[in-house]
Amino acid sequence: MLSLKPFKLKSIFISLFAIVFFMNGTAIVWAKECPQSRKTQTAPPAFLNKKNPLRKEPRHIKKGKVLSHIKAKPIACKQCHGMLGNGQGAMSLHMNPKPRNFTCKLTMDAISDGQLFWIIKNGSKGTSMPSYKHLSDNKVWQLVHYIRSLSK
């Protein structure tokens, strides 16, 4: 028969409580917000109606994913937006507003390619989203393809 000493039971209980709290706490709940409401600045008309000039091909999506997960500087997108693009990255817990949840189709369908391009290039005032002006237009469009692939 299994015998656990009281201090071990207490440790197990505390660990389980912490896991349940985290699973039910704000760290998970906010990412489920769909659609997300935002007061993001609207891109200038010259950008707003732009369409992604790159074909929606697996190679562009893959290159966008590599940028998002590894190569983007000053910080990889996954740090805030998460590996799944759901806004649950390691740095997102204390951000207000929370990072965009790219998995929410309702939210993403309301954002044009040009708006995404402009935000990536210029950052988003009032949020933690930095500017990635140094990325070539091609790389930003690859990111847009990857981001779009997360909400399908």
Domain count for the chain, please give it: 1
* pLDDT tens figures, 59-115: 999 999 999 999 999 999 999 999 999 999 999 998 999 999 999 999 999 999 999
The upper half-sphere exposure of residue 59, i.e. CA atoms within 13 Å in the direction of its Cβ, equals: 3
pLDDT band at 12 (very low <50, low <70, confident <90, very high): very low
State yes or no: pLDDT of 26 exceeds 50.
no
* Residue 52 belongs to some domain of the structure: yes
Identify each DSSP E strand in 34-124 by its residue range. Answer: none
The upper half-sphere exposure of residue 29, i.e. CA atoms within 13 Å in the direction of its Cβ, equals: 6
Of residues 123 and 16, the one with the higher pLDDT is 123
* pLDDT tens figures, 113-122: 999 999 999 9
* Residue 14 belongs to some domain of the structure: yes
* Residue 49 belongs to some domain of the structure: yes
* Residue 2 belongs to some domain of the structure: no
* Domain that includes residue 43, residue range: 7-149
User: Can you say whether the dihedral through the CA atoms of 94, 97, 102, 103 is positive or negative?
Assistant: positive
Q: What is the CATH number of the domain that holds 111?
A: 1.10.760.10
* Residue 1 belongs to some domain of the structure: no
